[in-house]
Amino acid sequence: EAQRTDIMGETGRGQEGLGILLLVGSAVAFSTAGYFTRLIPVDVWTLLFWRGIFAGLFVMGVLVWQHGAAAWRSIPAMGLPGLAVTALSSSGMIFFIHAFRHTSVADVAIVYAAAPFVTAGIAWLWLRERPSRGTLIASAIAFVGVVVMMGGAFRLGNMLGDLFALAMTLSLSLMMVVLRRHGDRPMTAAAGLSPLLTA
């Protein structure tokens, strides 16, 4: 029993380490999106189309690689929550790319930095998950920062882009709460269908 506990503890630590590594990797990849988006000399809808096609085919390819011929079963298995995740992820990406074309990369990053606190607020309203005092304080500070930044954006004529960034943040925050609420559903298919829907 002691040996089993040790193995489970090591497995848990390994999973936590992998989770942290994936989180850091995703943050680095996500933070470069604005730079590469501005480098591509095409209109927003062309960019969204080709991004959606390649991303969707890649994720669906991974799904087939993991599950073989049974991969298609994960689509009906995700149910209505999966369709909600698909739609919210797709709308979030559309707002995300539009935001980069109408405001600065820094503005988009600052607005999206409020996503954890927006998510906590939605989770409190919907799932009745009580946020900690630290989360509430950080949420208030983030809200003040977004208000101050959007005031500057109004003077600089970047308000439309900041509103796109805010819509993206709301979409993705709501998506995270749906994922949290329905954690038992397979959602890899939603990750593949979302970019295809965007396209």
Output the CA torsion 168→83→28→96 (10° steps): -20
Output the CA torsion 109→110→115→116 (10° steps): 110
Only one residue has tokens 């295809």, namely 196
Lowest mean pLDDT among 111-115, 134-138, 169-173: 134-138
Q: What letter does residue 113 receive in the DSSP assignment?
A: T
- Contact, 37 vs 48, CB < 8 A? no
Lowest mean pLDDT among 148-157, 163-172, 175-184: 148-157
Higher pLDDT, 27 or 8: 27
Distances (CA, A) of 30 to 59, 95, 119: 17, 15, 18
Higher pLDDT, 125 or 140: 125
Most confident among 30-44, 58-72, 121-135, 147-161 (mean pLDDT): 58-72
Residue 171: per-residue pLDDT: 95
CA-CA distance, 29 to 40, in Å (whole number)? 17
CA-CA distance, 35 to 50, in Å (whole number)? 17
Q: How many residues does the chain have?
A: 199
pTM score of the predicted model: 0.77
Angle at 83 between CA 186 and CA 50, to 5 degrees: 95
Residue 167: per-residue pLDDT: 95
Q: What percent of the chain has pLDDT over 90?
A: 34
Residue 13: per-residue pLDDT: 72
